Amino acid sequence: MAKENGLGMATLSVDDGAGSLQAIKNDITNFGLATPRGVQDTTGVDKSAMERLLLLADASIDLNGVFNDTTTTGAHQVFKTVSSTSTVRTVSIDVSGQTLSMEMLFTDYNLTRAQSGELTFSAPGVLATGVVPTWS
């Protein structure tokens, strides 16, 4: 398989407040995704190098985009209920036939109006259900 770029994401979808998966990739300008593992230091005083154990898996996402309230399925419709609901939301990302689906809690829907007039948003999410995020 050849190296690839991230152009033309196949899928980037998030559940709205009612639990319906909405394709919002057109409103997303960039995102960050992390799937870290906890680490426990188990180094004894008899060692000359670090010794560790892997612990629980986790995931987080930070979606950034352009404010768009003209559609019934756009990013604003998805995230406008973040402050008023405690909804676990499915996040689905597909790039080059590789899919990652996770159940996440979104903790903020931050709107920013820049001095130049741009109106953008960020929406950070964290893993919710204890299911290990796994690419398929």
How deeply is 39 buried, as exposed, middle or buried, from its count of CB atoms within 10 A (0-12, 13-18, 19+)?
exposed
Residue 62 contacts by C-beta under 8 Å, 6 or more apart in sequence?
31, 32, 122, 123, 124, 125
pLDDT of residue 91: 97
In a domain, 84, yes or no: yes
In a domain, 30, yes or no: yes
Q: What is the distance between the alpha carbons of residues 125 and 89, in angstroms, rounded to a whole number?
A: 9
How remote is the C-alpha of 90 from its chain's centroid?
A: 10
In a domain, 5, yes or no: no
pLDDT of the chain along its 136 residues, tens only?
688 887 878 899 999 999 999 999 999 999 999 999 999 999 999 999 999 999 999 999 999 999 998 878 889 999 999 999 999 999 999 998 899 999 999 999 999 999 999 999 999 999 999 999 999 9
Domain of residue 86 covers 11-41+51-127
How remote is the C-alpha of 56 from its chain's centroid?
A: 18
- Give the number of domains in the chain: 1
pLDDT of residue 1: 60
Task: Give the position of tokens 């906890």.
Answer: 38
In a domain, 114, yes or no: yes
In a domain, 59, yes or no: yes
Q: Are 82 and 76 in contact (CB under 8 A)?
A: no
